[in-house]
Amino acid sequence: MREQRRMNPDEKIKYRKLYDGGLRWQQLADRINGDITTSYTKSQVRDMLKRVTVTQGAGNVGNGQEKRPTLVFSDLHLPYHREGYLEFLKETHKKYNCKELVICVGDLADHHAISRFKSEPDAMGDAHEMSEAYAEIQKLVKVFPNAVITLGNHDLIAFRQAAEMGLSTRYMKSFEQLWDLPDTWNVVDEIIIDDVLYSHGVGSGGKDGAINKAMSEQMSNVQGHYHAFGGCKYIANKRNLIFGLNTGCLCDPNSIAMAYGKHSKYRPTLGCGVVYNKNQATFVPWIL
């Protein structure tokens, strides 16, 4: 049996770019095993490369779609979503002629029942909530079979709870396994695509959070997390123009899981984002 060896950072970037260019995890495992004479499985390759974030032109490279804009959305908090969100995303995707690859910048599911904060007593139990969220995620995957998701704080609740109990992640399903995501859904912490940074946005809050992070990262930035401040702002100097885009949210502000914000000064902004390139993006409000 051939021995396995750890890939160096340059190799990881090289092979991650091949995945972003269209190779699936099994094809990539076969390629790696042939190139460096090792015996990685599909799951091992995915675990090694899914967190690699330095990438260019991710998704649909070379098939005429790279110049089309990208649909970005966040904070569905399934199953506490706003009814009609999928139709809104489909209509926006078609209206702006977006490429096949879509990006979710986190909080796909809510995990209200297992949060470390006190749950609403009239909310769904954990099994019921998981079942409802799973059904919605399968609908989303069917409509958008090619996607990137940057994990949000709610997406990671189960893993944080396990860590507090001292439970190794080896005892748990991965995020992909939990929701039966296809190989064409790429799960990362953050990702750079065509000089635009995508992440959930934890730690960069307020009405200027997205543009402030763009300035600190020195590149255009797309985020969610802060439901109330959907919108896009720009900043320029003599040499460059960058933007900070907050994609708003698609959760239901009136759902029981969102009861904590019932009397907040700033209400959630429903909508999504469309990114044209590293210098241009727009927020698309969902006008009910």
* Burial zone of 124 (CB within 10 Å; 0-12 exposed, 13-18 middle, 19+ buried): buried
Task: Specify the amino acid at residue 121.
Answer: P
The proportion of the chain whose per-residue pLDDT surpasses 70, expressed as a percent, equals: 91
- 57 and 149, same structural domain? yes
What is the per-residue pLDDT for 1?
47
Mind listing the pLDDT tens digit for each residue in 46-71? 777 766 654 444 444 444 556 899 99
Task: Specify the amino acid at residue 82.
Answer: R
Task: Identify the band that residue 149 occupies on the pLDDT scale cut at 50, 70 and 90.
Answer: very high
Question: Among 14-18, 127-131, 169-173, which stretch is predicted with the lowest mean pLDDT?
Answer: 14-18
Under 8 Å between Cβ of 191 and 150: yes
What is the per-residue pLDDT for 201?
93
What is the per-residue pLDDT for 56?
46
- 187 and 46, same structural domain? no
What's the rounded mean pLDDT across residues 278-288? 95
- 112 and 34, same structural domain? no
- 130 and 264, same structural domain? yes
- 151 and 97, same structural domain? yes
What is the spatial distance between Cα 60 and Cα 98, in angstroms, rounded to a whole number?
A: 12
Number of domains in the chain: 2
- 138 and 44, same structural domain? no
CATH of the domain at 273: 3.60.21
Structure tokens at 111: 């995990």
Over 21-77, what HEC string results? Answer: CCCCHHHHHHHHHHHHCCCCCHHHHHHHHCCCCECCCCCCCCCCCCCCCEEEECCCC
- pTM, two decimal places: 0.80
The proportion of the chain whose per-residue pLDDT surpasses 90, expressed as a percent, equals: 56
Q: Which domain holds residue 32?
A: 1-52
What is the per-residue pLDDT for 61?
41
Distance of CA 241 to the CA centre of its chain: 24
What is the per-residue pLDDT for 57?
46
- 245 and 191, same structural domain? yes
Q: Which of the 8 DSSP states describes residue 109?
A: B
- 191 and 133, same structural domain? yes
- 48 and 116, same structural domain? no
The answer, yes or no, to whether residue 126 has pLDDT greater than 80, is yes
Task: Identify the band that residue 113 occupies on the pLDDT scale cut at 50, 70 and 90.
Answer: confident
- 26 and 167, same structural domain? no
- 281 and 199, same structural domain? yes
Identify which has the larger pLDDT, 116 or 138: 138
- 151 and 45, same structural domain? no
* C-alpha torsion angle, residues 133, 141, 168, 190 (rounded to 10): -110
